[in-house]
Structure 1
Amino acid sequence: MNTFPLFHKLENQPILIIGGGEVAMRKADLLRRAGANLTIVAPSIDPEIKLLLNKDDSYNNLYPNSRHVFIEETYKPTHLQQQSFIFIIVATDNEALNKNIHADCKKQGLLVNVVDTPPLCDFIFPAIVDRNPITIGISSNGKAPVLARLLRAKIETIIPQQYGKLAKIAGDFRNEVKSKLPTINARRKFWEHAFNGKYSELIFAGNEANAEQQLKQDLEKFSKVYADNSIEQTQQQDGEVYIVGAGAGDPELLTFKALRLMQQADIVFYDALVSDEILDLCRRDSDKVYVGKKRCNHSVEQENINELLVKHAKIGQRVVRLKGGDPFIFGRGGEEAQELAKHGVSYQIVPGITSASAMASYTGIPLTHRDHARSVRFVTGCLKKGTPNEQFSSMLEPNETIVFYMGLHALERLTTGLIEAGKSKNTPIAIVSNASRSNQQVLTGTLADIVKKQAHAQLPSPALLVMGDVVNLHEDLKWFNINTPNSHTK
C-alpha cells in the first residue's frame, strides 16, 4: 500500500486552487460539494467556474468574507499566506510554474497536489462513488487514473443510489439502537438483520416511511429478546418474492435492481427463456429450480408455480421468480402477483426489457417511425388454453406496427387470416429468432411469401413476428451480428 486512504472533513475549510481553466473547474466542483471554502487564483478565471461557485453564495468583490473568493492575478508566493489553507491544488498548464509553486508549498509546510503530476503530489484525488453518506474512493496511486475511473463506473452499476438513504436513516437510529442494545455483538446482529432484511428492501422500493417503521419494529424485537440472551431468535426474516424481468437474453440488458435482487435470492424459479448467462448472475449458492413452460410442454403448471412462490416465502426465504422479457407483458406476472397478494406475501415486481423492444433495437426495425408507423401493438399469437388468436379484423391499420408473441407455430394461420381479412399480401413481415442473443437470426418477407421462406430457413423458437412498413428499414439499420454466419437470413 503506497498511500493510506483517509476521508477528510472539508466543510468550511479553506482550500486554494491555482488555475482557472477546465481542470481547476473539475476540482472546484468536487471540493465545493464537500463544503469547502475555495480561493481561486489565476490571471483569467473561466466564467463557468464563477457561475458554478456563485451557486453557493452571492459572491461580491465588496465582501471578502464570502464563501468563495476569486483573485484574478498572476500567482505570487504571498497567495499561499492569505489564509491558513489546509492544502493547495495546482491546476495550471505551465510546467515550470507548477514546479515553483510546489517548491513554495514545501517551504511553508503546505500539502500540495499538482494535477496529473504524481511526483509533485502529497496526496491523490481518488475516483469517487458518492452515495452520501456512503463514499467509496478508488485510487491507482497516480499510475492509471483512467483505469480507476473505469473501476468506479463498474462499482456505480452495482450500488444503487438508495444505499445513501439506507445509511442516513440508520444513522438517525444509532443512538436509540445503542441504548436498547448495549453490547457490540447485539448491535452487529441487529444491523446485519436490518441491512439484509425488510428494512432495506422497503428503502430500495422507495417506501421510506414504512422502512423507518420496520426498523423500529425490528429494534423492539431485538430489545425484547436481548435480556434472554437469545438474539439469534430474531434472525428469521420475513420472506418476500421478487418477480424479476430478465429481459430478452443479453445479460447487459438487465436492470441494476434485477441484478441486486438476483444476487441475494435464497431460491430462484426460472423460465425456459432465461439464458444461462443471466442465470449465472444469480447468487451462486441459491437453489435454482426450472419451471419453464413451452407450447404444449409445461414442466410445472402455473397453479403449482404460484403455490411454490407462496410456500417458500412463508418459510422466510427470499424468492426470485425470474422471467424472460417483462413479467407483465405476456409473462403471467400479474397472475403470480394476485396469488401472492391473496396470501399476504410481500412482493416486488421488477420490469425487464420485453423481447419486442430488444428485437427492435437489435435488428434495426423501429417499432414506431414518423414516416411508417404511428402506433405499435403487442399481440399474442396464441390465446388462453392454446387457442389461436384470430382477431384479424382489428389488425388492418396500415400505419401500425404489430408484434406477435408466440406466433411462430401459427405463422401460416396468421398470414392467411390477415390476407383474408383484407391486409395487403405485400405487407412486410419479419421473423426474429433469439432476439439480442449471439445466435440472433432475422428472416424478412411479406405476408404472401414468409411461410415459404420460413419452411426453407427453419428459424427456431423463441421467435417474434413483426409486421408493418418498419420492417423495410431493417436492411439499412441492422448493426448487430451482421458479420456472424447465419445471423441474418433473407
Structure 2
Amino acid sequence: MEYLPICLRLQAVNVLLVGGGKVATRKARLLLRAGAYLTVVAPEVSAELAVLLEQHKGLWLQSRYASEHIKGQSLVIAATPDKAVNAQVHQDAGALGLPVNVVDTPELCSFIFPAIVDRSPLLVAVSSSGHSPVLARKVRRDIEALLPAASGRLAEFAGRMRPLINERIHEEGPRRLFLEEMVDGAVAELVLAGREAEAEKLMREQLADLATLKQGEVYLIGAGPGDPDLMTFKAARLLQRADVVLYDRLVNPAIVDMARRDAERVYVGKRRADHAVPQQDINRQLLELAQQGKRVARLKGGDPFIFGRGGEEIELLFQHHIPFQVVPGITAASGAACYAGIPLTHRDYAQSVRFVAGYLKGNEVRHDWSEFLSETETLVFYMGLVGLGEICTQLQTHGRALETPVALVEQATLPTQKTLVGTLATIEAIVAEAKPQAPTLIIVGNVVRLHRELAWFAEEG
C-alpha cells in the first residue's frame, strides 16, 4: 500500500493553493466545499476561480509564488504548469513539515487527491496511488451508479439515532447487529425514500421489541424484458440484500446471478399448460419465507404490475402484515418496441397505446374486439404467440384493414432478439415459417412502419 487513506477535517484550516488555471480551479472547488480558508497565489486566475474565492471569502494574492507565502499554512497544493515553481513549493512545504500535493507529480506529493463519491456526510474515496487517475475516476463512476443518491440522508439519520440506540442496547455485539440491520433493512429503505418520520417510528418499535427484527420482508422486483443493464439501481440493490430469490421463467439467468452468492434460488416459472408452481403456492411460499424472518426477492420478468400478477402476490402479504416493497421494471412492451425501433406512440401514426393480454382461453382470445379498431392507437399483445392467428382473425373480422402493419419481437433486448414484420394478412405465415420461441411480443399499428428506419439493435429477421 503506497498511501494510507485519511480524511482531513479542513473547516477553518488555512490552505495554500499555488496556481490559478483549470486544474487549480478543480482543486479549489473541493477545498472550499470542505470549508478551508483558501489562499490562492497566481498572477492570473480563471473566471470561475475568482467567483469561488469571492463567494467563499477566499484570498487571491496576485503574484508569482514566493517562499514567504507558505508561512501560516497547514496544507499546500501546487497546480501550475511551471515545474520549477512546483518543485520549490514541494521543497518549502517539506522544510516546514507540511502536507503537500503537486498535481500530476506523485514523486513530489506527501498526499494525493482521490476520486470522490460525495454523498455527504458519507464519502467514498478511490485512489490508484497516482498511477492511473483515469481508472480511479472510472471506478468512482461505477460506485456512484450503485450507491443511492440519498445515502447521505441515511448516514445523517443513523448519526441522529445513535445516542438513542446506545441508550437502549448496552452490549456491543447486539448493538452492532441492530445497526447493521438498520442500515440494510426496512428502516433504511424508508429513509432512502424520504420517509424519515416513518423510519424513526419503525426503528423505535424495533428498539422496544428487538424480536421484531426477526420479521422478514418481500421485495417484488421487476426484472425488465431481459437485458440486465435495464434493471434499476434499486432492483439491483434489493436483489443483493435478499436471502432467498424466487424467479420466473422469463427472468434472464444473468439477472438471477446478480443475487448474493449465498442466496437461495428457487425457480417458480410457468409456461403455457405447464405451471411448475401454481400461483397460490408461490403466494404461500412468499408468506412462509418472510414469516421465517428471511428477506425474499420475487423476481418477475418485465414489470410486476403489468400482466405479472404482482397484485395477487402482495395481497396475501398485506393481509398478514408482512412488509413488502414493489420495484417497477421496464415492461416488455417498452423494451421490445425501443430495441426494435418501433415507437409505441408517434405524432403522425399513433396518439395512444393499449396493452392487451393475448393468451388463449380454450381456443379463444377473449376481448371486446370492437374496442381495438382505431388506426391511431397502437395495440401491444403480451403472451400472444400461440393466439396470433386468433388475434389477426378477430381484428380483421371486426374491421381492421388487412394491410395493418404487425411486428412480432422475439427475445426482446437480448443479443438473440429478432423482429418479424408483416401485416394482419401475412404475419401468421411469416411466424409459422420462422418458428420464433417465447418470450415474444406482438405490436399492431402504423408505428410498425418505422421499424426499418429507426431500429438500432442489430438483429436478424
Q: Same fold (TM over 0.5)?
A: yes
Q: Secondary structure at the match of 2:163?
A: helix
Unmatched segments (≥5 aa) in structure 2: none
1:77 equivalent to 2:67? Answer yes
Equivalence for 2:151: 163
Alignment of 1:230-245 (within 5 A): 234=211, 236-245=213-222
Closer, same or farther in 2 for the Cα pair 1:24/1:391, shift >3 Å? farther
2:129 pairs, out of 138, 141, 160, with 141
Moved more, 436-445 or 374-383: 374-383
Q: Is the 8 A contact 1:325 1:353 kept in 2?
A: yes
Equivalence for 1:307: 284
Q: Secondary structure at the match of 2:241?
A: coil
Equivalence for 1:458: 435
Equivalence for 1:93: 81
Distance across 2 between alignment mates of 1:384 and 1:309: 28
Closer, same or farther in 2 for the Cα pair 1:430/1:38, shift >3 Å? same
Q: Deviations over 1:379-426 (max 9, x none)?
A: 221377885144332223223322211112111121222223222222
1:46 equivalent to 2:54? Answer no
Distance across 1 between alignment mates of 2:295 and 2:341: 38
Q: How many residues align?
A: 461
Distance across 1 between alignment mates of 2:165 and 2:317: 33
Q: Is the 8 A contact 1:197 1:237 kept in 2?
A: no
Distance across 1 between alignment mates of 2:376 and 2:101: 62
Equivalence for 1:30: 30
Q: Secondary structure at the match of 1:263?
A: helix
Moved more, 262-271 or 381-390: 381-390
Alignment of 1:242-391 (within 5 A): 242-382=219-359, 387-391=364-368
Q: Secondary structure at the match of 2:45?
A: coil
1:415 equivalent to 2:392? Answer yes
Q: Secondary structure at the match of 1:93?
A: coil
Distance across 2 between alignment mates of 1:317 and 1:392: 45
Give 1:370's aligned amino acid. R
Distance across 1 between alignment mates of 2:424 and 2:140: 50
What is the Cα deviation at residue 52 of structure 1? 4.2
Equivalence for 1:114: 102
What is the Cα deviation at residue 124 of structure 1? 0.7
Give 1:330's aligned amino acid. F
What is the Cα deviation at residue 126 of structure 1? 0.7
RMSD: 2.2
Distance across 1 between alignment mates of 2:299 and 2:291: 19
Q: Is the 8 A contact 1:390 1:417 kept in 2?
A: no
Distance across 1 between alignment mates of 2:171 and 2:67: 54
Q: Secondary structure at the match of 1:409?
A: coil
Give 2:14's aligned amino acid. P
Closer, same or farther in 2 for the Cα pair 1:294/1:54, shift >3 Å? farther
What is the Cα deviation at residue 314 of structure 1? 1.8
Q: Deviations over 1:256-282 (max 9, x none)?
A: 111111122122221110111111111
Q: Is the 8 A contact 2:206 2:212 kept in 1?
A: no
Closer, same or farther in 2 for the Cα pair 1:42/1:474, shift >3 Å? farther
What is the Cα deviation at residue 238 of structure 1? 1.2
Give 1:21's aligned amino acid. G
Q: Is the 8 A contact 1:134 1:167 kept in 2?
A: yes
Q: Deviations over 1:302-356 (max 9, x none)?
A: 2222222122212222111110000111111122222221222211000111111
2:406 pairs, out of 417, 429, 433, with 429
Closer, same or farther in 2 for the Cα pair 1:55/1:415, shift >3 Å? farther
Closer, same or farther in 2 for the Cα pair 1:55/1:298, shift >3 Å? farther
Q: Is the 8 A contact 1:390 1:414 kept in 2?
A: no
Distance across 1 between alignment mates of 2:392 and 2:402: 8
What is the Cα deviation at residue 189 of structure 1? 3.0
Q: Is the 8 A contact 1:91 1:114 kept in 2?
A: yes
Closer, same or farther in 2 for the Cα pair 1:96/1:469, shift >3 Å? farther
Instruction: Report the TM-score when normalising by structure 2.
Output: 0.93
Q: Secondary structure at the match of 2:387?
A: helix
Closer, same or farther in 2 for the Cα pair 1:2/1:331, shift >3 Å? same
1:185 equivalent to 2:173? Answer yes
Closer, same or farther in 2 for the Cα pair 1:70/1:422, shift >3 Å? farther
Q: Secondary structure at the match of 2:140?
A: helix
What is the Cα deviation at residue 217 of structure 1? 2.6
Q: Is the 8 A contact 2:239 2:297 kept in 1?
A: yes
Unmatched segments (≥5 aa) in structure 1: 57-65, 223-233
Give 2:87's aligned amino acid. K
What is the Cα deviation at residue 248 of structure 1? 0.9
Closer, same or farther in 2 for the Cα pair 1:38/1:368, shift >3 Å? farther
Q: Secondary structure at the match of 1:160?
A: coil
Give 2:191's aligned amino acid. I
Distance across 1 between alignment mates of 2:413 and 2:128: 36
What is the Cα deviation at residue 54 of structure 1? 4.5
Equivalence for 2:460: 488
Same amino acid, percent of matched pairs: 47
Distance across 1 between alignment mates of 2:329 and 2:100: 48
What is the Cα deviation at residue 454 of structure 1? 1.0
Q: Secondary structure at the match of 1:408?
A: coil
Query: Which segments of structure 1 move beyond 4 Å, counting only runs of 4 or more?
Result: 52-56, 383-387
Distance across 2 between alignment mates of 1:251 and 1:456: 30
Q: Deviations over 1:172-213 (max 9, x none)?
A: 232333334333234223323433443223324432112112
Give 1:153's aligned amino acid. R
Q: Is the 8 A contact 1:194 1:218 kept in 2?
A: no
